Structure 1
Amino acid sequence: MSAAPLTRTRLIGLLALLLVLALALLTASLCLGSTAYRPWQLWQNTPDALLARDVVLQLRLPRSLAALAVGGLLAVAGLAQQILLRNPLAEPYVLGTSGGASVGALTALLLSGGTALVSLSAGLGALLSTLLVFGLARHDHSSQQARLLLTGIAVTSFTGALSSLLLAIAPEGLLRGMVFWMLGDLSGADWHLPLFSLVLLAVLLWPFARELNLLSHGQQAAHALGGRTRLLQWLLYFSSAAATAVAVTTAGMIGFIGLIVPHALRLLLGQDVRLLLPAAALGGGCLLLAADLVGRTLIAPQQLPVGVVTALAGVPVFLWLLQQRGVRR
């Protein structure tokens, strides 16, 4: 009888902690950068007030909000694919979703398409690659899950080759921007679409949290307990593809967020999707915002691509989490 109040208490406490962390990182992101302008200079009657307003409100704030939203989208997409495969190693980059989105976006960029065309192309690429990988999911057996992961790796390699081909034939004027975008870049990123998409995704998935708990134990078990397995599968297919497409369109290729965050939260909180879903949305945003802060300040005034920072930090953190799990056992 005490399980529900305990879950609500843990959820409220966790969300409060993550919100405090997000606000702290957001404050640090607004204060730190390649220039010495700080938020409190906005209200000072000095000649630098206008410059401070441009730097803080026009550059740092939109970039920080975009990092929070994109990180949340990648973490939720990773959580959705891990539920589908019942495998903690599943995530958009391993299963080729990000690669498909990247091919679509690069194709649109090569054709000098606008923002709408780039977003649409990325969405179609992500959806096609997701359907290609999960098209083999007809039975719920361990061999089938392993085959899906291998298929995802193959699709990732193929989309990587296509992306390299598009870079090779790109004109000189577009090449530098495309390469930097491939490494993950939040400079000039628009935060409106990813933040709206993250809120919409959370609202869409939250009513199905209990059924997703059943699905995480397998399709047969979920179906036997009355779960709408086919509906849930298609919901997760489209949700993960759309979230990845928006993230890739906004910030390029950023790895390890969808792998590290859901796995780390699962080690801390257990398997309850009611806890994992909001925690992943906030935790992914905090991780990407921290990585972007490091990339902007480590060798300032030069900037490290945020995708490089997440890749360098992701491997040791993942190994540490596995070690801690083994110690607890």
Structure 2
Amino acid sequence: MLRRFSNTYVFGGFAILLFFSAIYSITVGPMNITITDSIIALTNSNNTLAPHINLIIHDIRLPRTILCMFVGAILAVCGAVMQGLFRNPLAEPGIIGVSAGASLGGAIAIVGFSIIGFEFPQFMALAVVPVFAFFGGALTTLLVYKLGTSKFGTSVTIMLLAGVAFSALSGAGIGYLNFVADDQMLRDLSLWSMGSLAGATWGKIALSAVTLLGLFWFFQRKAMSLNALLLGESEAKHLGIPVQKLKRQLILFTAVGVGVTVSVSGIIGFIGLVIPHLGRMLSGPDHRTLIPLSALLGALLMTAADMFARVAVAPAELPVGIVTAIIGAPFFLYLLFQQKGKIL
């Protein structure tokens, strides 16, 4: 009962913090907008604010903030599931090469279907790029899983090395696409590869929202099976869980999530590594609470990182992928130091 109440307080506290962070996020940017003006613009459509303030809030900062929360939540949930699937705290879509594979798929779509992107930008952003990113991420995930898994279990060392190899191959592929791209393609690829939420649209928000709801519904249904996997694959099989089928399903849905986030925001790493650890520290390893808490914390951290990206080098804007790397890379090194006796 105490755990239940403590989890309630944790969820409530972070939900309130996320709400106020989202409101404050709308005020942050090259142009200063007060919190009062933001609330007035959001709650009163017939307000007397200057037209350019309403335009900035409704068409730029509000969509960006909402997309930011959805992307952070998706990445955090996928990270929590991958760590549970591989039973290792070092597993994360970016580190094991999944994000790189999805990025290569998206880059192929941007360069190979540039004519479609010019004529039908919305169709390109909401259909072509996500599909290619999904297949790139799914293929990479399956290959990493196959390489790292044997009859003795899953080797995190092989998994990490495979991630390095696939990231290098994807980097080479993206480098070649940069070489053959024209000026507009090159600009799109450069901004997209560093991770940015500046191109937020309501179409991207809708795609991210549907993806997050689908992932959350599915992963919550599999939460008890993930808990059983923490005991080991043999124990999970004895409990009647179809382990191989479960792995394929989790890999597929994770690839969907990573593919969508890469397509709408570019490469944003380390959210899926850091957030599940914070979630386990706050609520324990039970995936029934870890998954929703990870979604909440991921949205919060992503919102904070995006706000920092907007003001760090104002009036210019720092790619948010750089900010998350600054946060996540030292954390990853800390985890490696903790795990070095287990993976060597």
- Out of 276-285 and 189-198, give the one that drifted further: 189-198
Answering whether residue 173 of structure 2 is matched by residue 165 of structure 1, we say: no
Distance 2:151 2:322 in 1: 37
Instruction: Name structure 1 gaps, 5 residues minimum.
Output: 325-329
Distance 1:78 1:234 in 2: 16
Computed over aligned residues only, the root mean square deviation of the Cα atoms, in angstroms, reads 2.2
Match of 2:325 in 1: 311
Residue pair 2:77, 2:294 contacting (<8 A) in 1 also: yes
Match for residue 236 of structure 1 among 236, 250, 257: 250
- Out of 53-62 and 263-272, give the one that drifted further: 263-272
Match of 1:254 in 2: 268
Distance 1:7 1:206 in 2: 19
Alpha-carbon deviation of 1:141? 2.9
Distance 1:124 1:141 in 2: 26
Instruction: Name structure 2 gaps, 5 residues minimum.
Output: 117-123, 339-344
Distance 2:336 2:205 in 1: 33
Alpha-carbon deviation of 1:208? 1.7
Match of 2:205 in 1: 191
TM-score computed with the length of structure 2 as normaliser: 0.86
Match of 1:21 in 2: 17
Residue pair 2:105, 2:134 contacting (<8 A) in 1 also: yes
Q: How many pairs were matched up?
A: 319
Answering whether residue 151 of structure 2 is matched by residue 139 of structure 1, we say: yes
Match of 2:102 in 1: 101
Distance 1:272 1:109 in 2: 40
Residue pair 1:97, 1:129 contacting (<8 A) in 2 also: yes
Task: Give me the identity figure in percent.
Answer: 36
Answering whether residue 10 of structure 2 is matched by residue 9 of structure 1, we say: no
Report the AA paired with residue 133 of structure 1: V
Distance 1:57 1:45 in 2: 13
Distance 2:334 2:21 in 1: 23
Residue pair 2:7, 2:283 contacting (<8 A) in 1 also: no
Match of 1:327 in 2: none
Answering whether residue 243 of structure 2 is matched by residue 222 of structure 1, we say: no
Distance 1:246 1:140 in 2: 33
Residue pair 1:257, 1:284 contacting (<8 A) in 2 also: yes
Matches within 5 A, 1:102-117: 102-111=103-112, 112=114, 113=116, 114-115=124-125, 116-117=127-128
TM-score computed with the length of structure 1 as normaliser: 0.90
Match of 2:341 in 1: none
Report the AA paired with residue 130 of structure 1: T
Distance 1:45 1:289 in 2: 27
Matches within 5 A, 1:225-304: 225-304=239-318
Change (3 A) 1:6 1:239: farther
